[in-house]
Structure 1
Amino acid sequence: MSQATSGVGSGTGAAAGATTPSDFPDLPEATVARLPEYLRALHQLADTGHDTVSSEALAAAAGVNSAKLRKDLSHLGSYGTRGVGYEISLLIAQIEHVLGLTQRRGVALVGVGNLGHALAGYAGFGSRGFRVVALFDADPRLVGKTINGLVVRHVDLLVEFAPAEGVAIGVIATPASAAQAVADMLVAAGVTSILNFAPCVLAVPDGVDVRKVDLAIELQILSFHEHRKSAAGGAVAVGAGAEALPR
Structure 2
Amino acid sequence: MSQHRDPGASGHTGAVPALPDLPEATVARLPEYLRALHNLAETGNDTVSSEALATAAGVNSAKLRKDLSHLGSYGTRGVGYDVALLIDHIEYVLGLTQRRAVALVGVGNLGHALAGYAGFASRGFRIAALFDADESRVGEEINGLVVRHIDDLATIAAQEAIAIGVIATPAPAAQSVADRLVAVGVTSILNFAPCVLSVPVGVDVRKVDLAIELQILSFHEHRKASLTGIPASGPAAGLTALPGGLAATGTQEAVGT
Q: Normalising by the residue count of structure 1, what TM-score does the alignment of the two structures yield?
A: 0.88
2:224 to 221, 226, 229: 229
SS, match of residue 137 in structure 2: coil
1:22 to partner: Cα distance: 2.1
Partners of 1:60 and 1:6 in 2: CA distance: 32
SS, match of residue 102 in structure 1: coil
1:118-142 per-position Cα deviation (integer Å, ceiling 9, x unaligned)? 1101111000000000000011111
4+ aligned runs moved over 2 Å, structure 1:
1-4
Q: Which runs of 5+ in 2 are unaligned?
A: 231-257
Q: Which runs of 5+ in 1 are unaligned?
A: 8-19, 236-247
1:48 to 43, 53, 71: 43
Alignment correspondent of 2:21: 26
* Root-mean-square deviation over aligned CA pairs: 1.3
1:68 aligns with 2:63: yes
Partners of 1:26 and 1:132 in 2: CA distance: 28
Alignment correspondent of 1:156: 151
Partners of 1:4 and 1:225 in 2: CA distance: 40
Higher helix share: 1
2:102 to 99, 107, 117: 107
- Percent pairwise identity: 77
Q: Which has the higher contact order (CA 8 A, sep 6+)?
A: 2
1:68-120 per-position Cα deviation (integer Å, ceiling 9, x unaligned)? 10011011111100110001011000000000001100000000111101110
Partners of 1:96 and 1:156 in 2: CA distance: 34
The amino acid of 1:64's aligned partner reads V
Alignment correspondent of 1:6: 12
The amino acid of 2:73's aligned partner reads S
The amino acid of 2:11's aligned partner reads T
Q: Normalising by the residue count of structure 2, what TM-score does the alignment of the two structures yield?
A: 0.84
Partners of 2:143 and 2:10 in 1: CA distance: 31
2:84 to 73, 84, 89: 89
Tell me the matched-pair count: 223
Partners of 1:192 and 1:163 in 2: CA distance: 14
